[in-house]
Structure 1
Amino acid sequence: MSDMTPQALLPRQIITGKARLAGVLGWPVSHSRSPLLHNYWLARYGIDGAYVPLPVAPAQFAEAVHGLQAAGFRGANVTIPHKEAAYALATELDHTAQRAGAVNTLIFEANGAIRGLSTDGDGFVASMESAGHKPQGKALLLGAGGAARSVAAALQDRGLHVAVTNRTDARAHALAEALPGLDVVPWAMWEQQLGAYSLLVNTTSLGMEGGPDPMFRPSLHHAAPHLVVADIVYVPRITPLLAEAEQKGLKTVEGLGMLLHQARLGFREWFGQDPEVDAGLEAYVRASL
């Protein structure tokens, strides 16, 4: 199977009236490559199922989730801006979700329960390690939303000293209250303080194609030479932030790896198969960016 191309695999996907169903909820959701990677896995493992994009406005989020559950879906991924709303809606939470205060994966149980998982943080760390960078030292996170909560918790759990900065200062302080030991850096000052950190992570949608500021390219003038710059945005593949880092000779980690690694647990729960993140999957999804 390893010598087969993704294009050869996808037409073999099986969908019948007994298909297992899942999807991704977001607003917007057109940028998401989750349908691409999950349907690749479904085809690769010959699973009767489908995974679909689900554009849902914030005001309709709870109604949409309950509708999917009533329609027989096995669950869904949750992306911007719904991760904290998913946390509030879940009736059961895993330890990581409780700690992060955010959910990116929903599992619909047969008894009607909605189980919420947070796989972003572990997916981010797995992506870093896959790229050859073990997170260590001091990390600065841009953003204080659902992804930031999960990534911050995962980094703290691995012994890193973590700070967060956010355009809305109150949200940064709320995250610091939720995760004791987290520092807050004012948004207007983080560029000047960058030299104190070994890892910079953009957990916002800044720099994302179609996002609030697709040209987001802050100054990295004060960065230490050993700084690793990571971006969870993966459309475009090289964000303006990563381009700036590369121009300064800094090591970078693209957002695609986090997407691939965080997806494994949800796929296993919905479709009953532990999928492999390999070169074939990465090449297939990367070709769409």
Structure 2
Amino acid sequence: MRKFGLIGRNIDYSFSRKHFSDKFNEENIDAEYLNFDIQSIDEFPKVIKNNIISGLNVTIPYKEEIMQYLDHLDAHAQSIKAVNTIKFEKDGSICGYNTDYWGFLESIKPHLENHHQKALILGTGGASKAIAYALELLEIDYRFVSRKPAKDELSYSELDENILKKYTLIINCTPLGTSPNIEKCPDIPFDHISDKHLVYDLIYNPAETKLMKLASEKGAKTINGLEMLKLQAEKAWSIWNS
């Protein structure tokens, strides 16, 4: 039996474990998918020493820290500087990939309209790097929005009517609004949201976040992160079996 798994911290909620376990059952694949819940990335060598693993996914907070243990990065992961998929090669080397950008790219394409030329990325963590990379591939200009903005980034207090008229695509890469803290959401001025906006929340639990609900009430189109997760998982599966 082949063994796959997820590296992360506090990952009982794991989408990946249920997704792949269901896939293996439905397609009669002789494999299992396990959560490797570690409190420090220093535990990673022990995980791969004690288990014969065919492939791993990586989630918060190790998408960047994991790279020190990898022998190679594919071109996309190298550009993004974050890894969410690991393949163990036949020669014994370990290669890192990023499928988050692919999941986002393919899931947002059907919803884009001609006026979606500028995007605001809420948050600057590991997930935001993959989103920025995908937007570059789509030739969509973007700005990061942060509570502690660095150079060329925006603060939430700077978001005004003029900015929101220009930036009609908004992507939430923060954890604000994730269950069980469903009453939280990024502090954006919803009075300036309109039916021209597309609001994409990477959160998938709950299916409709507070951000999505408030934006929808202003006429915006909203999407959650479930389709992105499914697509990135299937991309990981294709990498493991290539």
Q: TM-score, normalised by structure 1?
A: 0.76
**TM-align CA RMSD:** 2.1
Q: Match of 1:169, SS?
A: coil
Please say if 1:167 is aligned against 2:167: no
Superposed CA offset, 1:160-213 (max 9, x none): 10111122324xx5xxxxxxxxx52123323553222121000121111256x8
Displacement of 1:224 in angstroms is 4.0
Shift in CA distance, 217/184, structure 1 to aligned 2, threshold 3 Å: closer
The one of 21, 30, 35 equivalent to 2:12 is 30
Q: Which moved more, 1:190-199 or 1:25-34?
A: 190-199
Distance 1:20 1:210 in 2: 34
Q: Which moved more, 1:120-129 or 1:228-237?
A: 120-129
Displacement of 1:105 in angstroms is 0.8
Confirm or deny: 8 A CA contact 1:31 1:235 kept in the other structure: no
Segments of 4+ in structure 1 off by > 4 A?
none
Distance 1:110 1:62 in 2: 24
Q: Match of 2:158, SS?
A: coil
Shift in CA distance, 20/191, structure 1 to aligned 2, threshold 3 Å: farther
Confirm or deny: 8 A CA contact 2:172 2:200 kept in the other structure: yes
Percent of pairs identical after alignment? 32
Distance 1:62 1:100 in 2: 22
The one of 71, 75, 84 equivalent to 2:64 is 84
Please say if 1:133 is aligned against 2:112: yes
Unaligned runs of 5+ in 1: 1-18, 174-182, 274-289
Name the residue aligned to 1:204: 174
Name the residue aligned to 1:11: none
Name the residue aligned to 2:97: 117
Please say if 1:221 is aligned against 2:191: yes
Confirm or deny: 8 A CA contact 1:142 1:202 kept in the other structure: yes
Please say if 1:190 is aligned against 2:170: no
1:1-289 to 2 correspondence within 5 Å?
19-57=1-39, 60-64=40-44, 66-70=45-49, 71-130=51-110, 132-133=111-112, 136-170=116-150, 173=151, 183-190=152-159, 193-210=163-180, 215-218=184-187, 219-270=189-240, 272=241
Distance 2:99 2:113 in 1: 18
